[in-house]
Amino acid sequence: MQILHTIDALRAALPGAGRCAFVPTMGNLHEGHLSLVRQARTHGLPVVVSIFVNRLQFAPHEDFDTYPRTLARDADLLRSAGANIVFAPDEAELYPQPQTFKVQPDPALADILEGHFRPGFFTGVCTVVMKLFQCVQPQVAVFGKKDYQQLMVIRQMVRQFALPITVEGADTTRADDGLALSSRNGYLSEAERQQAIALSQALRFIADRVRLDPSSLAQAESEATDELRAKGWAPDYLTVRRRTDLLPPAADDLASPLVVLGAARLGTTRLIDNLEF
């Protein structure tokens, strides 16, 4: 496995445009990331993994400075997962000048949910992913479904810019108790970690209630939100949406495939999760 830090070295090592599978990450890897690498490997192409903590997608009050940088450990994990190339540029390499050209996603999709609570987040994500796509030129790119809205925004970007890349979603990897794996789980205290499962339980509660009685949607959302709050969480949203566009379902959408998405803060840690149903 090669570990490369410059775009020139990456381009020299790649087998040519459209001849690799790609997994973009911000490092501090866990089993969820490794499952993306394993999915990428099923294409029989060399697998490139990028590790880059992208300043553009963090608001000034967020955890950019403290986000764990664990390259040596990440490289060991990626080697054993069968990645071929790790692309780990520093900021000066990927952003040699302030990145004033940006990819501005459709506000209808990108300014709701995560984008509402983290303004500019998806512009930062799209800009870096577009740039990484230009560097890597993959045939396939794999993104986790845990970042459900991110996956949809990237799919739309790829479609609208006619990029010759197949975007694949990979199922969320969960701990034994059901907590979605996330690099930010590492911020939780032991007591918070015990409590963290309450978010996915709240989503399950809403999904089960809505499937049983679609007319109870608003009540299920607000009961689950109140219950999380009573347990000491600060929920941003717990909401059922259409899978096609992440808008609230109309009455006649309620029998079609839906997704319930949630974001809530436990102490200082903000967790997100979702469940298709």
Active site residues: 33
CA distance 87 to 191: 36
Query: Is the CB of 129 or the CB of 136 nearer to ligand PAF?
Result: 129
Tokens of 69: 């940088």
Minimum CB separation of residue 94 from ligand PAF in Å reads 10
Query: Is the CB of 41 or the CB of 118 nearer to ligand PAF?
Result: 118
Minimum CB separation of residue 51 from ligand PAF in Å reads 9
Q: What are phi and psi of 146, to 5 degrees?
A: -60, -40
Minimum CB separation of residue 53 from ligand PAF in Å reads 8
Helix (H) or strand (E) holding 2, with range, is strand 2-4
Confirm or reject binding of residue 129 to ligand PAF (CB under 6 A): yes
CA distance 263 to 277: 18
Length of the chain: 277
Query: What residue spans of 213-265 are helical by DSSP H?
Result: 217-230
CB of 157 within 8 A of CB of 130?
A: yes
Confirm or reject binding of residue 78 to ligand PAF (CB under 6 A): no
End-to-end CA distance of the chain: 39
The strand ranges marked E within 134-206 are 140-144, 166-170
Q: Which of 65, 124, 91, 112 lies closest to 246, judged by CA?
A: 112
Query: Is the CB of 150 or the CB of 269 nearer to ligand PAF?
Result: 150
Confirm or reject binding of residue 180 to ligand PAF (CB under 6 A): no
Q: From 6-14, 68-76, 122-130, 232-240, give the range in contact with ligand PAF by CB under 6 A.
A: 122-130
Q: From 78-86, 121-129, 206-214, 259-267, give the range in contact with ligand PAF by CB under 6 A.
A: 121-129
Window 15 to 34, contacts with ligand PAF (CB under 6 A): 24-26
Window 35 to 74, contacts with ligand PAF (CB under 6 A): 54, 57
Residue 251, strand partner residues? none
**Identified binder of ligand PAF from the candidate list 14, 94, 125, 136, rule CB under 6 A:** 125
Residues that bind ligand PAF (CB under 6 A): 24-26, 54, 57, 125, 128-129, 147, 150
